[in-house]
Amino acid sequence: MGTKRLSRTVLEAGRSRYGQWEQKYQKRRERAGLRLYNDRVCRAPEHAEEHLEPTRMPIGRCQRDTLGPIRRWLDSFVGQPWSTVLSKMVALADTRTLAGWHLIELHLKSEVRTSQNFDPWRGYLYFVDQRGTLQREPNYWARKRSRRLGHRQRLWREFVGVRKILEVGSKLYWCELVERQKAPRDGNASYRQTIALTKEERAFWKLASPEQRKQARYLPQGRQSTQASIAG
């Protein structure tokens, strides 16, 4: 059974969908401009002496490369020293040829963020840490989700603070911490019921996670013993 070699894998897959759309759009724009120009020249020949014929705007290369094989190859070396990965790269293809140089320099090395290879406008999937080990960058959406969850937790801590929330039927009340000179015998902090939650505070309470509600919910001593007996 034959094995696949990355140096023989076809990576170039033509233009991307946006590049194809832009190319078609510029062609339609050029044809429409030429029709309008020719119509005006037919009506007034002096128009050709005063105006230039419209030309197509230059279109950049928007390539859609097949980078899945390259990223799977790099995934197999995550956690290994970067020097080892570089030696594997050199043995993979001959950089003296155009195809080998294109594979190593423009595809493999460009996927890894190092101190020598860093572009702030480029999104790297791999990086070399301080110990010189190849690592994979966390997913963008995972980083965004963690930042969003951290922001929600910070808002929740600011919202609750050291207070508790008492549920009485469908109503919610704040419970403030009672400071005592002597510590209680059972070791549990004491709270006293204060004002009811506003409409906006109740809406924020509904958006909280079950774990956050469990930590902030205040159970009087009788209800705590009842729930403990039920759980037992």
What share of the chain has pLDDT > 70, as a percent?
A: 78
User: At CA 19, angle to CA 13 and CA 20, rounded to 5?
Assistant: 80
Condensed to tens digits (0 to 9), the pLDDT of residues 154-207 reads 888 888 888 889 988 888 999 988 876 565 555 567 788 888 988 888 888 888
Mean predicted confidence (pLDDT) in 8-21? 68
Please state, in angstroms and rounded to a whole number, the distance separating the CA atoms of residues 212 and 90. Answer: 53
Q: Report pTM.
A: 0.42
- DSSP E strands, 28-170: 63-65, 112-113, 126-128, 134-136, 164-168
pLDDT grade, residue 230 (50/70/90)? very low
Kindly tell me if the per-residue pLDDT of 229 is higher than 50: no
pLDDT at position 187, please?
Answer: 57
pLDDT at position 10, please?
Answer: 53
Name the pairing type of β-strands 164-168 and 134-136: unpaired
Measured in whole angstroms, the distance separating CA 38 from the mean position of its chain's CA atoms is 50
What is the average pLDDT value for the chain, to the nearest integer? 78
Q: Count CB-CB contacts under 10 A for residue 10.
A: 8
Condensed to tens digits (0 to 9), the pLDDT of residues 77-114 reads 888 998 888 888 888 878 888 878 888 887 788 888 88
In the chain, the amino acid numbered 169 is G
